Each structure stands twice: as C-alpha cells, then as structure tokens.
Amino acid sequence: MGKPTGFIEYLRELPLDRTATERIRDWKEFHLHLDEKTLREQGSRCMDCGIPFCHTGTVLNGMASGCPINNLIPEWNDLVYRGLWREALDRLHKTNNFPEFTGRVCPAPCEGACVLGITSPPVTIKNIECAIIDKGFEEGWVVANPPSRRTGKKVAVIGSGPAGLCAAAQLNKAGHLVTVFERSDRVGGLLTYGIPNMKLGKELVDRRVRLMEQEGIAFLTETEVGKNYPADRLQKEFDAVVLATGATKPRGLAGIEGGDLKGIHYAMDFLTANTQNVLDGSKNDKFVSAEGKDVVVIGGGDTGTDCVGTSLRHKCRSLVQLEILPKPPLSRASDNPWPQWPKVYRLDYGQEEALAMFGADPRIYNTTVKKFVGDEHGNVKEAHTVQIDWQHDENGRFVPVEIPGTEKVSAAQVVLLAMGFLGPEQTLLDQLNLARDSRSNVEAAYGSYTTNVPGVFAAGDVRRGQSLVVWAFNEGREAARECDRYLMGETQLP
C-alpha cells in the first residue's frame, strides 16, 4: 500500500456519465473517464486492510461476495497509485482474460465486499480496472501472444459467450488447438447480443476476438452443433469438448390470460434483434420497434434495465417496469451485513434515463400481471396488474398474495418479459447424452467441471444456471484447467 492515509484524504469519486437526455439519442457507450491524477488518488484509497475480502470470491446468502476470478485488487490499486500502469496491467491479466468486459458490465461484487465499505464508500475498483485495460490498449501493451509450442491436442469449445471465450483463451495458452463453435452470425454470445451497445461497445468485443484469432484460435460462426454440425462428430474430431452454451431458455408467463397476444416478446429476443439492427444498419424480420408505443417491461435485473434503455432509444411513448419484489432499502438491512452483496435501492442507467424523460423511476414494486387484453387484430393493448403482499404460507415459504382493490390497467403495445431463464436448451445435451441436475443444467461438479461423458466438460450458465458474467469467466478458466489436466495428465494453468 503506497499511501496509508489515502482512504482518509480522498472521497470516493466516479467518472461522470453522459447526460441521460444526450445519450438516449444514440447507441454509444455512456460512461466517461477520470483523469490520471484522480485515478491515482482513487487507487490510494485501498487501505491495506489485512484481509482483502474484495478478491476472495464466494457466495454468501445466495449472492456473490468479492471477485469470483480472484483479481489481485489491492496489488493493482497500489500500482496505479504509484503510476506503474504497465505493471498494474500485468497483475490484472494474471486473473482476468478480458478486463475490458468486466470493467464495464460486472456489478462489482468486489466493491460490495471492500473493507473500507464497512464505514465509508468503497474503493472504485471496477472503474480502476477498466482504466487499466483501456490504458493498456491505448499504449499498445495489449498484443497477440500465441503459445510458443503446440501440444497437437484439439479442443472444441461450444459457445462463444463469456465462459466459452475464457476457456478458449486458456486452452490456447496451454498450447492446444482450439476451435470455438458459435451458432450466431457473430462471436461473443451474451457479450455481443445480450448486452446493448451503450453498455458494451461491440468494437471492444471484435478487437478482442481479432487478438484471439491472431493467437491461433479458430471461430466457426453460424455453426450450431447438433443442427448443422452433427454432435457425434465432436468426439471423433476433437480430443476434448468444453460446453459453454449458456442458459438461454427464457422464463415465460405460464397460464396468464392473453399471454399469446402479438406484441409480447421475450427480452433477449428484443435485445438481440435490436443489436443486429444497430450493427447491420437495417431492420431484420425479428426487429421490434418501441417507437411511439406504450412499453411494459416485466422483471428487474440487468436485462430489464437494458430493455428500458433500449425502448427509450427507440423513442417509446411511455414506459413502466413491473417488479414483483418489494422496493429495496436505501441502506443495508440488518439481515444483509457486510461482506454480503448490498441489496439496496439503486438507480441504474436505464431507470436514470426514464427519470429524465418521464419524471419518475419507471419501476413499480410489489406488482404482478393478472392478464393481458388485446384488440380486434390480436395485438396486445392493455396490461392488467395487481399489487401483492409477501406472506408466509403453511410451509413457511414467502408467497405473493394479491391485495384486493389494487387492480390497475396500463396501456401496452409492447410487453417485454425480462424474468430470467429456466436453464439451458436441451436438444444438444440430449444428443450428447449428458446427465442433468434437478434444474435441467448439465450435471458437473464445481471445481472439476467433468460430465458423465469422458472428455466433455461444462462451464458457465449451462452448468450453474443464470449467473453473472464474472462467474462465467471463473468457470471458463477453471474448466480449461481441468480440461488441460485431462489431456496432458497435469496442468500449469491457474
């Protein structure tokens, strides 16, 4: 630690964002950057706490606490404070293959577990991480680094999302010949089509993919294993397989009257088609425009926020976001102590933009949909909602109970379902004869990632269910380590 009194001398300071009214007019990233002097001051706030919970990634009370990929946060904070940016980049890359992604889209469980955060605003870890890698690219320090030798072993990675890309990078580093299969027209999975451009510019994904290609990794797009590439070819043509297809089966509105009306869409379908439109400059047949329409987003979380931000950029007429859970408190509740992830009220970028446009946070808490009503052409026109109260049932579980007299009707020509995912698609898993757990995920123990089929490994959401990008990074890296051990009998991968 370079400055023992840094956390006393300097307040937490974040870069400004582009104003909400400006940024909703385009698809450019909305974050601005701090100058180097301020970044070094922010690095000095890291307080040599003795036990840095920030990088001891674990799960507490069902939520991530600390960094799942064990970033060496105190070390690179100190190096940034000293102005040793190149050394800081080296330390960052020891644990993180793609900090330009986590530095933008990770919710920063590291900051929730920061020791300084017990009494003061935590260190700006995520912002410093992003600044380190951005400076690395600006200075030309980040270059292709192909392995010095090849093992001759061939590995197939199925899926090019966060887990797949990390697994591919690590296996390539070990000298194996890696081929990544992606069913979409572009590489990146969730990073490309699940996260809108204003949150993660796709030029950053393309830049990293180009480096990976220069390092010897092959990418096959528009190639869906189990469909236009037979699943039984994998074990014939490759020595090992890492399955990283994600959890892409969306949660729907089972049994809701009017749930099949036109105009009701899954959030990921809406976001994917929109990103394709932005990147290609032309509307595809799956594109859904919210321009001039009343939009209802059902579900919170990052996906719900992305639907809000995207609809606003379409110039929607009105927007509400329904959240079945209660409104979080402004500060930690007594049953949510440090170092658990702080479950507190936050105004994310989409809600901030809606506030600027319509004068209020669009979220309506403790509310659920009872039914949808359509017009004479089968298009949705109304969402009928009711407020709920969470009560214990006879088994002691919390269940939602409708509050009589709280029914409400909202105009809706576009309804976006952002209620999470039920697990992975099953077709490929069936073809590979993979065992599944009770939630339909691939059965593979955390830490070993081995499935019931020899030589087939599973990592990321396909194994653990819907989760954070940084957990996918964790599992992709660790699955690569175990795959390398399987191929070579030992491994040097971390």
In the chain, the number of structural domains is 3
What's 19's domain CATH number?
1.10.1060.10
Answer whether residue 131 is part of any domain.
Answer: yes
Of 419, 437, 464, the position where a domain reaches its end is: 419
Provide the token pair at 87. Answer: 């050394």
Write down the residue that tokens 């949660």 correspond to: 251
Residues 235, 279 within the same domain: no
In whole angstroms, how far apart are CA 188 and each of 22, 191, 227, 234, 378? 28, 5, 20, 21, 36
Among 8, 18, 121, 123, smallest CA distance to 76 is for: 123
- Indicate whether 356 belongs to any domain: yes
Could you read off the pLDDT tens digit of each residue along the chain, which spans 494 residues? 678 899 999 999 999 999 999 999 999 999 999 999 999 999 999 987 889 999 988 999 888 899 999 999 999 999 999 999 999 999 999 999 999 999 999 999 999 999 999 999 999 999 999 999 999 999 999 999 999 999 999 999 999 999 999 999 999 999 999 999 999 999 999 999 999 999 999 999 999 999 999 999 999 999 999 999 999 999 899 999 999 999 999 999 888 999 999 999 999 999 999 999 999 987 778 899 999 999 999 998 999 999 999 999 999 999 999 999 999 999 999 999 999 999 999 999 999 999 999 999 999 999 999 999 999 999 999 999 999 999 998 888 999 999 999 999 999 999 999 999 999 999 999 999 999 999 999 999 999 999 999 999 999 999 999 999 999 999 999 999 999 999 999 999 99
Q: Which of 109, 138, 167 is the endpoint of a domain? A: 138
Answer whether residue 149 is part of any domain: no
Given a contact cutoff of 8 angstroms between Cβ atoms, the answer to whether 56 and 66 are in contact is yes
CB of 299 closer than 8 Å to CB of 420: yes
Q: Which residues span the domain enclosing 324?
A: 252-419
Domain membership flag for residue 143: no
CATH number at residue 480: 3.50.50.60
Residue 294 domain-assigned? yes
Point out which residues pair with 157 in neighbouring strands: 180, 242
Mark whether 66 and 123 lie in a shared domain.
Answer: yes
Q: Clarify whether residues 336 and 373 are in a common domain.
A: yes
Same domain, 226 and 330: no
Choose one of 370, 388, 419: the last residue of a domain.
419
Is the residue at 212 inside a domain? yes
User: Nearest-5° angle of CA 111, CA 113, CA 119?
Assistant: 90
Based on the fold, state whether residues 51 and 124 are members of the same structural domain: yes
Structure confidence at residue 377 (pLDDT) = 97
User: Do 10 and 121 fall within a single domain?
Assistant: yes
Residues 257 and 222 in one domain: no
Residues 340 and 215 in one domain: no
Residue 438 is assigned to a structural domain of this protein: yes
If one counts every other C-beta atom within 10 angstroms of the C-beta of residue 284, the result is: 11
Beta partners for residue 384, in sequence order: 371, 409
User: Is 1 contained in some domain?
Assistant: no
Assess whether 264 and 393 both reside in one domain: yes
For residue 122, say if its preceding peptide bond is cis, omega within 30 degrees of 0: no
Give the separation between CA 405 and CA 12, rounded to whole angstroms.
Answer: 45
Q: What is the pLDDT of residue 281?
A: 87
CA proximity to 444, closest of 401, 396, 483, 395: 483
Its pTM stands at: 0.95
